[in-house]
Amino acid sequence: MTEVKKIEDTLLIQNPVIAQMVLNNHEQVVFCNDNDTGLKAIIAIHNTVLGPSMGGTRMWPYKNELEALTDVLRLSRGMTYKSSVAGLNLGGGKAVIIGDAKTQKNEAMMRRFGKFVNSLSGKYITAEDVGISTKDMEYIKMETDFVSGLPENMGGSGDPSPVTAYGVYISMKAAAKEKWGSDSLSGKKIVVQGIGHVGENLVKYLAKENASIFIYDINQERLKSIANETKSTVITNAETLYDLEMDIYAPCALGATVNTDTLNRLKCSIICGAANNQLEDENIHGKLVMEKGILYAPDFVVNAGGIINVYYELEGYNRERSMAHAEKIYETTSSIFKMSKELKIPTYMAANRLAEKRIADIAKVKVSF
């Protein structure tokens, strides 16, 4: 106990790796470097009680290594909880590649990364995430079998974003049911922040239900065609987004957009989106959301469609089975709202408890005789 406390009390700047691993009980962190290809990556394995760790690889121009480490540790922990709540026999892992995906990514780099993944002998299975395409997964696959999210012509599931978006959409309906007594989204003013593959598919689902949709993305050119197709309104200034009157705020880009500043400005009844780690600090902002009377649908619950989709590749992909499993997200989200209300705890805490209980239960099953 003394040793753990000493690590926790040490400034992260002095012990940035072990100190952060201890905070959330990570099992393993692997640093990857290759001078010839320019690869600089971190693979984080949070927990493997339920099965091998799985999580996407993200390529992003992080400001520094500490920022990349913090991100991969948070994301890998989220994957553990996501797979647990979704009822999958998977642990949580994640990888980040430090760099600009538009200018620095190439075949050699992806294949070298694949070799690092392979060196873990199946303890980590990678998949697609921000800055990584199905083509990149093909390159990684050339060096390792521990990869999912492959193109359909290679026996994979292809782009997982439609299933991810569907999970967010039905979670939004579950939240509407909890908040207003009906899961209809018709006429509801919904702000979707981040129109990548998942955000775009989410907007299409919402358009079919005649929601009043407002969209924002840093790529303004991309918004025009989507706005025309879905009859959405384009938000041109990110700073004004949080000051709009809205029913539902759907963060679908990077995390930490639910923070002290935005919570003082947000005028919504529900927060439900596809982004990971939406709460900048779950202990602080999860409680603030509850105090403000906003219903927060925990991100790792609602965006589990993607991991569900790639999970079914491991057993021979079947779209119908994947979608049937994703349908359960509605029921899971509703059960978390119920637990939150009954125990008078924030929804993020209810979701965490649900995930942790399954992990603890299965850990007992796996105890050696």
The half-sphere exposure of 279 on its side-chain side, counting CA atoms within 13 A, is 22
Three-state DSSP at 193 gives: strand
- 147-164 pLDDT, tens digit each: 998 888 887 877 888 999
Cα first-last separation, the chain: 28
Q: What is the CATH number of the domain that holds 258?
A: 3.40.50.720
pTM above 0.75, yes or no: yes
Burial 218-256 (b: 16+ CB within 10 A, else e): eeeeebeebbeebebeebeeeeebbebebbbbbbbbbbb
Report the share of the chain in percent with pLDDT over 90. 75
Residues 45 and 68 in one domain: yes
Q: For 100, which DSSP code? A: -
Whole-number pLDDT of residue 367? 64
Residue 115, class by beta-carbon neighbours within 10 Å (0-12 exposed, 13-18 middle, 19+ buried)? Answer: middle
Residues 232 and 182 in one domain: yes
The strand pairing partners of 216, in sequence order, are 193
Residue 198: name the closest of 273, 131, 102 by CA. 273
The domain total for the chain is 2
Residue 216 Cα to chain centre, angstroms? 19
Please give the mean pLDDT across all residues of the chain: 92
Residues 33 and 137 in one domain: yes
Quick check: 288 and 260 in contact, CB under 8 A?
A: yes
Grade residue 12 by pLDDT with cuts at 50, 70 and 90: low
Residues 132 and 166 in one domain: no
In a domain, 79, yes or no: no
Quick check: 313 and 150 in contact, CB under 8 A?
A: yes
In a domain, 332, yes or no: yes
Summarize the confidence of residues 72-88 as an average pLDDT.
95
What distances in angstroms separate CA 356 from CA 13, 82, 309, 346, one per listed residue? 29, 11, 22, 16
Residues 57 and 14 in one domain: yes
Grade residue 4 by pLDDT with cuts at 50, 70 and 90: very low
Residues 190 and 311 in one domain: yes
Quick check: 181 and 321 in contact, CB under 8 A?
A: no
Grade residue 3 by pLDDT with cuts at 50, 70 and 90: very low
In a domain, 367, yes or no: no
Catalytic positions, please? 94
In a domain, 364, yes or no: no
Residues 113 and 260 in one domain: no
Grade residue 22 by pLDDT with cuts at 50, 70 and 90: confident
Single out the residue in 122, 147, 172 at which a domain terminates.
147
Residues 13 and 122 in one domain: yes
- What is the span of the domain harbouring residue 276? 161-357
Residues 56 and 113 in one domain: yes
Quick check: 42 and 68 in contact, CB under 8 A?
A: yes
Residues 208 and 311 in one domain: yes
Residues 138 and 255 in one domain: no
Single out the residue in 106, 121, 147 at which a domain terminates.
147
- 240-257 pLDDT, tens digit each: 999 999 999 999 998 889
- 97-126 pLDDT, tens digit each: 999 999 999 999 999 999 999 999 999 999
In a domain, 130, yes or no: yes
What distances in angstroms separate CA 119 from CA 30, 34, 113, 138, 301, one per listed residue? 10, 14, 10, 18, 30
Q: For 312, which DSSP code? A: T
In a domain, 362, yes or no: no
Distance, CA of 157 to CA of 140 (rounded, Å): 16
Q: What is the CATH number of the domain that holds 142?
A: 3.40.50.10860
Single out the residue in 147, 173, 196 at which a domain terminates.
147
Place of tokens 């439900």: 272
In a domain, 289, yes or no: yes
Residue 238 Cα to chain centre, angstroms? 22
Quick check: 123 and 44 in contact, CB under 8 A?
A: no
In a domain, 69, yes or no: yes
Phi, psi angles (nearest 5°) of residue 146 = -90, 65
Residues 199 and 104 in one domain: no
Asked whether the predicted pLDDT for residue 202 surpasses 60, the reply is yes
Phi, psi angles (nearest 5°) of residue 209 = -100, 10
